[in-house]
Structure formats: structure tokens, C-alpha cells
Amino acid sequence: MNSPAPATARIGIIGAGPGGLTCARILQQHGIPVTVYDRDPHPEARNQGGTLDLHADDGQLALREAGLIDGFFRLARPEGQEMRHLDPTGSILSHHVPAEDELFKPESDRGQLRDLLLNSLEPGTVRWDHAVEKVGGPADGPRRVHFLDGTTVETDLVIGADGAFSRVRPAVSPAAPQYTGVGFLEAWFQDVENAHPDLAALVGQGSATAADGDRALFAQRNSGDHIRVYIIQRLPADWITASGLSADDTAGIRARLLDAFSGWSPPMLQMINDNDGPYVDRPLFALPVPHAWEQTPTVTLLGDAAHLMPPLGVGANLAMLDACELALALAGSTTVGDAIATYEKTMLPRSADAARILENGAEALLERHDSGEIAVFGPPQR
């Protein structure tokens, strides 16, 4: 089958995260029709996660191309660039306070960024409640996307923007994410200035992190007077059930955590002891390094679906840069196949280089930094 022109191709993006929505927005800016399919039943079905920092040289670049950079800066929090590196007693080892005009990587809540992107799309672009089972059809097309409800759709190009455990990835690659040996537990704190003033003072307007070589805590200020804390440990992926606990046994998990962090000071232990609601278990996975596949003109990947790495502040930024470059390749190519070749020629080497740098990044999250060096990382994968 001859590869169609992008303007006449049936393009389906799987996943309505930052990468998928950025790609859809830029395609529509260039007059290329696209449909986004997402597993969630509606946009408000679940919390989109904590805050992320969008860098001037990738995430912000993509938003400029999408015509959304002014909207982003209206919702962004430059003060969120504040970073405190603490020791287990709560003493500050290093403290970065952003300058008034510092905009290299301002923070924004994932939900707010998603809304900005969603509201920029043509009505009906996103088809909710479309969980993908698999992608079938011949490599030269057309492809058929099979949904869990038994329905299908025929496409000329499937773009996998569906994250760590992508259902599109098997159409081009047998690679599967592997557990890194490091897990996060996420804890939420609401109305922090009133209900958790000591924690609010400890964390400041941005982030605060501490590690002792075996475990770590990372706290992030979100908008809406909200803080998220990531409790980081080197543990088996199934440690909760292996300990005879369940995910909703908040008291049991808390007791185990307090025992593990028993040498830490009370100000630091409030990140474990005072959370509102249950903990959220988030074991960290990564794809093999490097991850590549044989090029096909009908399927490609972006973001975590293509290059899942430990959460060291690059995931959303790379996903949005991927999305931007893929959309521009489609806008500037004669055929879809030519566009995929152009996009993957740049994306695959770039992601391989980043993945090599971050290959042991999950372990690095636990390292002590007695020199005061600040370890920067972002929210974990879903």
C-alpha cells in the first residue's frame, strides 16, 4: 500500500496526555485532521498527577509551536522553581531561590496543562472511553485499532502516546518495561497553609528533597495549597502485599514506613505521618537502553511509550518535544512514511542518549548529597 499524504491520512493518537494532546494541537494548527483516543471515560475521571517543570528548550518550545505559550505562562508558577536540599534532620544543605525573571523551567500542575491543551483542540477531537486492546493490520497499512469494548477503527497512522505500559508499542517492539528496584509511595497534603503549616514552611514554594543512601523523601508544592510527597525506597515491586498489607491499609503502611525512616527527625517524618488519605503505590519501571525498532510507515511512538526512563525531570518535556517534531514532520512531508522516517531519525538517537544518562537514575534518587548538590526529578509514571 502506498503511504498517503498526511493531510488525507486517517491519523489516530492513542493517549490524551501532554504528548498526545500537543501532537494533536500542532497537527490541527497545520490543517491535518487527527483523532485522539483515551481510555478514561471523561476528562475528569481521575487526578492527572502533580506538578511538572516545562523547560525552555523542549516543553516550552513545543507549546510555542502550538501557539499556547502565553496561556502556559498565565498558569505557570515560576516560584515553583525554588529547590531545597535537606538532610534527614531537616537542615538545609542547599537552597535555590529563583530570580524574579527566571522562566527556564517554571512549574505547572499536570491537570492545568492538560486542560490548556484540551481546550485548544477542535470539538470532538478526543474520543473518551476508548481503551485500546491492541493494534493489528499489516505493517504497510491500513492498521486496525482494537478497543476493549469490541469496537475497532481503521487508520493509516497510529501514534502511541499511551505511556509506560503502551498498548501500541507491541505493534513495533517486543520490549517491555522492567522494574528498576526502586518504588515511590505518593502522599497528599491538602490546605497546607492551615492544616499543615510546618510542612508548608519546610517545603517552601517549590520542592524539598532529602536522602540517606537507602531511602529518600521528595516534597512538591502544587497549586491550590496542595503538597505531594514521594516516599522513595529500594524495595520489591510487590512489597505491600508481601508484607501482608493491602494498598488501602494506610495505618499498616504508615507503621512500616515510620520504622524504615526511624532515624529521621520529626519535622521530616511529618511527610510520612500526616498525609490526608491513603498512599498511592508507584513502582518505577524503565525500558531497555537503548530502545529502538524497525521503522514502519503506519505506527510510531512518543514519550514514555517510546523511551520510558526514571523520573528525573525529562519525561513530559521529551514527550512534548517528540510530539512537536512528529507533527511538524507530518506537516512538512509528502507522505506519512516520509514523515515517520524524518521524525524517528532524530527522536530515537536523542532518547537513547537521554536514557543512557538516566539508566541508573532510580538508584540516584536515593543517594546522599552531603555537598548540598540538588537532585532534580519529576513525578513518577502512572
Cell 483515551: give the residue.
Answer: 38
Known binding residue 53? Answer is yes
Q: How far apart are alpha carbons 95 and 15 in whole angstroms? A: 37
Q: How far apart are alpha carbons 46 and 304 in whole angstroms? A: 19
Known binding residue 40? Answer is no
Known binding residue 110? Answer is yes
Known binding residue 221? Answer is no
Beta carbons within 8 Å of 355's beta carbon, 6+ residues apart: 286, 287, 289, 290, 291, 307, 309
Q: How far apart are alpha carbons 139 and 155 in whole angstroms? A: 12
Binding-site residues, please?
46, 53, 110, 304
Binding-site residues for FAD, please?
53, 110, 304
Binding-site residues for NADPH, please?
46
